[in-house]
Structure 1
């Protein structure tokens, strides 16, 4: 894995990493684990949302994704608007200079080709386009590895996403729906593969959970989310959030009335407000909040539970990976696809229309089939591991330079 002239290959990782989203960071961790095991000589650094966190946690140099630190805050004053506009120009230069120093840049997982959560075209979609365009300009291979994609209603966002995908040297997806979405946007996906989510490549907790006494009700992990709908739901965002919160709170209350301990999980720092609202509304010592700060810790939480009911995509991944029967409060087609892949397609419930009575019915049916579903998950996890081994073999092929990448030896402009 060494380019011409004996220089170690330079690998960049790119994305909203270190910004508080555990799923994004878990995807990065999976790719770094592969690089450190199979290609320890590679020189790795990041262009990301939270460089201080990435450097401290993963021990790699990191640069801030955006020059303007208020990029994801709403700009209302003239000064902030001007700074954002200037930032777009500065970021074009900064991104190009960073890309030029690498042989390959990996975008590890994440829903970078979708708009299932609110975003503006000139935020991350623009940043991704700058990355892929710079890669094409300087001959740096940009690899979109195990990413998520979905139909996009906003035309500016759709155009940026489509061109980002077209300019990338390599693409793979975490489900068939993602590949279909990109094909529908006009991207040639004939050579693109589908693999399980990268988080399935993370180590499974090795310490078995301590079993509760047979007469003690088992814990139910409930993964919550600061959910306001998708990018096309901005006009109804508060209504959607209130309905989601009310339905989830009622579900937790019913569990507590049945004597079930409930452990509230999150997947992003922004979810803390939902945890606080549910705990205040239910007000029971049976309801506790997890402080998990990584997917590994989330897997430990879900492995110790009897059952998991969760909203965030990577809460679902963690629960399914450790083999715990899981019910999805699904906010996007990717959750439905994941549950179907793992043999639990019947246990999805719409996050936009949480019906606590129906949710309780599905939950009780899930628990009745617990032993059967654990066996199903064990089999599906073995298959996922085999597919991810194939993914990393393909990734290694991309990372082995076949020409003398002299740009990797240039000094920083």
Structure 2
């Protein structure tokens, strides 16, 4: 039989557990529904992806200093040469596949700082070469947002237009792409792929009170707020620290959760500032680890989007410290839209009030989340059915020369 050749593209293995969770969800589906598929990845951290998920992986960028600020002439020249080399490397990689999947993540977003010649440029090359080389590029349940950066906008728009298939994790994302000039008439909205991951069993709700999980973030605003980055970061860190300190002063155990390697210094800064044995940081390397922490928690207060997804998925009452509209929409879709607080205008006293209201209503919130999760499981199944339809049907391999096919 000729096996379908599937490539997976994204910033996987680079320290962001949300991105890796999307990869894991797609791999689980391919292994269950298409065990004959030959799968590999073009990603940010190939060594990590191969070690953790057991698939061959290629480094996304030829120049290893891609995400470091280029201040010296040597670095600038290296980045420039890297862009040229990557154009040919990506073409060679795409050529080897029948379908290239870009699974979940905010691949079309600018809710966090990014440069046009980084991921937007690579995605444009991927989709462009897919069209030229007749490899179907599928943007599967992705997140998207509008941007004020013209280069990012142009690259994102053309990448989306050149893709053979597009679906989104929420209506906000589809609306954003439509606003940027992409015809979304045939594009579907499903939900985040992470809702397909296994859910760990819940802790004993009748036992002693559990900790409060606080998901923190190295927050500096969006790509369009670079001029306010320092101010936003300082305000966020101060507000979250005061909130954690207030919980610790009440004798509440607090577990700090991260979603990216860059968040760890934030956790360390909060622990140092609060200086209480009630505050500890969890060592988490995957969304599965995060969900295990959350199943024994009384409540979750989360900033990163996929920390929030994990809390909602395991049914633990959650409060979103929202840095983007996607978090507000997710909470509204889950029936708990009242429990949102702006990361940009964080107010520790108001956050405490919302947290206490959440705790008073925890039983009702748990019921709502349980009902909504049933719906989302169905949406994920629909998404994976659509993905399966994109893969070529395995065909019998050609018979060796001189041998008849029965």
For the criterion TM > 0.5, the same-fold answer is yes
Partner of 1:127: 122
Q: 2:310 aligns with which of 315, 318, 343?
A: 318
Measure, in 2, the Cα distance between the counterparts of 1:362 and 1:282: 21
Query: What is the deviation of 1:65?
Result: 0.1
| 2:108 and 2:145 in contact (8 A); partners too | yes
Partner of 1:76: 71
Measure, in 2, the Cα distance between the counterparts of 1:84 and 1:346: 45
Structure 2 portions without partners, runs of 5+: 399-406
Measure, in 2, the Cα distance between the counterparts of 1:218 and 1:250: 21
DSSP-derived class of the 2:77 partner: helix
DSSP-derived class of the 2:344 partner: helix
Measure, in 1, the Cα distance between the counterparts of 2:140 and 2:327: 18
Measure, in 1, the Cα distance between the counterparts of 2:215 and 2:379: 27
Measure, in 1, the Cα distance between the counterparts of 2:134 and 2:207: 60
Partner of 1:409: none
Matched, 1:34 2:26: no
Matched, 1:261 2:256: no
Q: 1:248 aligns with which of 240, 246, 260?
A: 240
Partner of 2:216: 224
Matched, 1:209 2:211: no
Q: 1:237 aligns with which of 215, 224, 229?
A: 229
Q: What whole-Å deviation, never above 9, does each CA across 1:263-320 have from its counterpart, x for those lacking one?
A: 0000000000110110001011110101011001101111110000000000000000
Partner of 1:181: 176
Q: 1:195 aligns with which of 174, 190, 197?
A: 190
DSSP-derived class of the 2:385 partner: helix
What CA RMSD, in Å, does the superposition of the two structures yield over aligned residues? Answer: 1.5
Query: What is the deviation of 1:224?
Result: 0.1
Measure, in 1, the Cα distance between the counterparts of 2:352 and 2:322: 15
Measure, in 2, the Cα distance between the counterparts of 1:283 and 1:132: 50
Q: 1:114 aligns with which of 95, 109, 118?
A: 109
| 1:303 and 1:322 in contact (8 A); partners too | yes
DSSP-derived class of the 1:234 partner: helix
Partner of 1:9: 4
Matched, 1:292 2:287: no
Q: How many residues align?
A: 398
DSSP-derived class of the 1:352 partner: coil
Q: Which runs of 4+ in 1 moved over 6 A?
A: none
| 2:2 and 2:394 in contact (8 A); partners too | no
Partner of 1:411: none
| 1:212 and 1:218 in contact (8 A); partners too | no
Partner of 2:345: 353
Q: What whole-Å deviation, never above 9, does each CA across 1:91-148 have from its counterpart, x for those lacking one?
A: 0000000000100000010101111000000000000001000000000000000100
Partner of 2:167: 172
Q: 1:304 aligns with which of 296, 306, 318?
A: 296
Measure, in 1, the Cα distance between the counterparts of 2:301 and 2:392: 42
Partner of 1:103: 98
Partner of 2:331: 339
Measure, in 1, the Cα distance between the counterparts of 2:393 and 2:199: 32
Partner of 2:378: 386
| 2:3 and 2:395 in contact (8 A); partners too | no
Q: What whole-Å deviation, never above 9, does each CA across 1:15-59 have from its counterpart, x for those lacking one?
A: 100000000000000000000001000000000000000000000
Q: What whole-Å deviation, never above 9, does each CA across 1:164-219 have from its counterpart, x for those lacking one?
A: 0000000010100000000001101011111110000000003x3245744xx431
Measure, in 2, the Cα distance between the counterparts of 1:85 and 1:384: 43
| 1:109 and 1:198 in contact (8 A); partners too | yes
Matched, 1:278 2:273: no
| 2:130 and 2:136 in contact (8 A); partners too | yes
| 2:2 and 2:395 in contact (8 A); partners too | no
Measure, in 2, the Cα distance between the counterparts of 1:191 and 1:401: 23
Measure, in 1, the Cα distance between the counterparts of 2:65 and 2:320: 34
Q: 1:396 aligns with which of 368, 376, 388?
A: 388
